[in-house]
Structure 1
Amino acid sequence: MQTVRAAFRDECARLGEALHGLSEADLDRPTDCRPWTVRELLAHVRSGAGRLADMLAAPAPPRAEVDAAGYFGAPKFTPEVDAARIDSGRREARELDGPALVADFDRAWRATDVAVASAPADRVVRTRHGDAMSLTEFLRTRVVEVGVHGLDLAAALAREPWLTPTAAQVIAELLAGGRPVPAELGWDPLTLIRKATGRARLDDRERAVVAAAGLRWLSFGG
C-alpha cells in the first residue's frame, strides 16, 4: 500500500504542476484518446482520481474478488461502456473552465489520499463496475489511469512525458504481470508502458519476442 500510495501522490502532484498555466487553447487541443480534447481527458482523469473517496464512504464488500489486472479486462471496454465514458468526460468538461478544472483535479486526488490514509490496510471497496477489490489493488488502477493518461496529455501538449519514477514502477510491474521483460527488448519502464498500452507500436521483432516470452498485455479503453 505505501508504495502504491506514494506513486499515486507523486503522479497526481506532478500532473497538477504540469497543468498549471494552460491556456484555453491548450485545453481545447485534440488528444489521441479520440474524440476527447485535453479538457475532456482531464475531466475524465479528475473523476477517476477522486473516485475512491466516495467508494470508501460506502459499505465494504465482504471480500475482494478482482485484482488490478482483472479490473482492466476486456468486458470493461465494450462499445457501450466506452461510449458512456466518453460522454461523461465531455459532459463534465463543460461544467468548469480551465483553471477551475485543474483546481478540482487537485481537490479530487487529495480527497482520495486523505480517505486512503484513514482506511484500514485490508479495506475492500466496490467499483462502479460492481467489482469487489482490495483498496490497494484499486488504488493501483488509479496510478495507471493518472500515469498513462498523463502520457496522453503530454503528447497532446507537445511536452516531454512527466511520468514519475514511482508511478512508472507500479504501472510497469502491473503491465508485465510481475514477469521479467525480456532483456533483448531493451525497454525502460516508460517504453514498456507506451508499448503495452498501445501508445507506441511494436515492430515485428518486438512482437515476436513478446509472443515468445508469453507476455499478455491488459485491455484498456480510451
Structure 2
Amino acid sequence: MPPARKRTRSYDPVRTRAAVLAQFENVRAAVQTLTPEQLALPTRLGEWTVRDLIAHLALTVASVGRALERDEPAKPELTLLDYPSATAAHAGVTAEGSRGLAAAPPDLDALLTRTEEDLARYLAAAPAPRVLAMPAGAMTLTDYLVTRVVELVVHSDDLGAAVPGLDIPYDRQALAACTRLLADTLAAKVPGGSTEVRIPPYAVVQCVEGPRHTRGTPPNVVETDPLTWLRLATGRTTWQDALAGGTVSASGERADLGPYLPLMT
C-alpha cells in the first residue's frame, strides 16, 4: 500500500496577502534606483539579466489579478505541494514573457508601482475562499499567493546575488511561508521519519525512510538557516558546497539530503 499523502499545511489568508504586498514593495523600493548598467548585469538564471528578472517578478505578481478576472472553477485541483513540480512545464513561456516585457517598458519603476497598486486593489475586493483557474490547474487564492511569496523571496535573493550591494529586505511572514513550503515539499518527496530537518525559526520536518524518531535527540539531524535552505531547495547552491561552507550541519547516516535536492528550479 502506498504511503498516505501528507496533509498540506494551511496558511492564514490575511497574513499571506500582507506578505505578498510587503515583499513586492521591498523589491520595488530596492530596485528603483538601479542604473542601466546594473539592469544589464547577468543573473544566475541562465540568460536572464537583472532587467529580465525584475520584469518576471512584475508578471508573477500581475498573474494574481489576471486569474481573479477569469471565471471561478468549481473546486481546486492542485495543492501547494503540487506547485514545485508543476513550475518546470511553464518555464519556457514564462521566460519568453519576462524578456518581452523587460524590453518594452522604459520605466521599470513605473511598471512595478502600477503592478503593486493593481494587486492591492484586486486583493481588497477578492473573497478569501476564491478558487483560481491557472494553467497548471485550479488552486485556491491563498495557496496561489503562497506560491507568489516563494517566487518573490527566491528571486529577491537572486537579485541580491546579481547586483553587488543591493539589499532587499525579507518580510518575516514571506520568508517563513517560503521556508515552510519548501520544507514540506521535501517531506512529501522523501517521506519517512528517520531524519529531522530543522530550519529555525520557521520549520521542522521529518523525512527519509528508516527507523522513526519518537523522543530525545534524533539520530539523523540536518540544520540550516532559511536563506541557505531556499538556495539548496531551488538549486542555487549544492549540498556539498553548503556543507563545505558550514552553512548546513548534518549528522547521522541518513542525513545526506544531496540526492533529493533541488526540489524545484
TM-score normalised to structure 1 length: 0.86
Cα shift at 1:158:
1.7
Corresponding residue for residue 126 of structure 1: 133
Residue 49 (1) aligns with residue 61 (2): yes
Deviations 1:169-189 (A, max 9, x none): 010000001866247433121
Corresponding residue for residue 264 of structure 2: 219
Work out whether residues 144 and 171 of structure 1, in 8 Å CA contact, stay in contact via their aligned partners in 2. Answer: yes
Work out whether residues 49 and 112 of structure 1, in 8 Å CA contact, stay in contact via their aligned partners in 2. Answer: yes
Deviations 1:131-173 (A, max 9, x none): 1000000011111111111111111002355322221101000
Residue 209 (1) aligns with residue 255 (2): yes
1:30 is paired with a residue of what secondary structure?
coil
Residues 48 and 20 from structure 1, CA distance in 2 versus in 1: closer, same or farther, beyond 3 angstroms? same
Cα shift at 1:199:
1.6
Residue 92 (1) aligns with residue 118 (2): no
1:93 is paired with a residue of what secondary structure?
helix
Deviations 1:21-41 (A, max 9, x none): 111111000000110100011
Residues 3 and 216 from structure 1, CA distance in 2 versus in 1: closer, same or farther, beyond 3 angstroms? farther
Work out whether residues 41 and 50 of structure 2, in 8 Å CA contact, stay in contact via their aligned partners in 1. Answer: yes
Amino acid aligned to 1:187: T
Residue 40 (1) aligns with residue 40 (2): no
Amino acid aligned to 1:77: A
Structure 1, unaligned runs of 5 or more: none
- List aligned pairs for 1:24-35, cutoff 5 A: 24-35=36-47
Corresponding residue for residue 76 of structure 2: 64
Residues 130 and 198 from structure 1, CA distance in 2 versus in 1: closer, same or farther, beyond 3 angstroms? closer
Residues 206 and 90 from structure 1, CA distance in 2 versus in 1: closer, same or farther, beyond 3 angstroms? farther
1:185 is paired with a residue of what secondary structure?
strand
Residues 218 and 2 from structure 1, CA distance in 2 versus in 1: closer, same or farther, beyond 3 angstroms? farther
Task: Mark the structure with the bigger radius of gyration.
Answer: 2
Share of identical aligned residues, percent?
Answer: 29
1:177 to 154, 167, 184: 184
Cα shift at 1:57:
1.4
Residue 23 (1) aligns with residue 35 (2): yes
Residues 57 and 199 from structure 1, CA distance in 2 versus in 1: closer, same or farther, beyond 3 angstroms? same
Residue 83 (1) aligns with residue 92 (2): yes
Question: By percentage of residues, which structure has more helix?
Answer: 1
TM-score normalised to structure 2 length: 0.73
Deviations 1:75-126 (A, max 9, x none): 5414xx43322222111111012xx212212221331232122111110001
Residues 22 and 142 from structure 1, CA distance in 2 versus in 1: closer, same or farther, beyond 3 angstroms? same
Corresponding residue for residue 104 of structure 1: 111
Work out whether residues 55 and 101 of structure 2, in 8 Å CA contact, stay in contact via their aligned partners in 1. Answer: yes
CA-atom RMSD in angstroms? 2.5
Alpha-carbon separation, structure 1, partners of 2:255 and 2:119? 39
Q: 4+ residue runs of structure 1 moved beyond 6 angstroms? A: none
Work out whether residues 124 and 133 of structure 1, in 8 Å CA contact, stay in contact via their aligned partners in 2. Answer: yes
Question: By percentage of residues, which structure has more strand?
Answer: 2
For CA contacts below 8 A with separation 6 or more, give which structure has more relative contact order: 1
Alpha-carbon separation, structure 2, partners of 1:76 and 1:165? 24
Corresponding residue for residue 195 of structure 1: 232
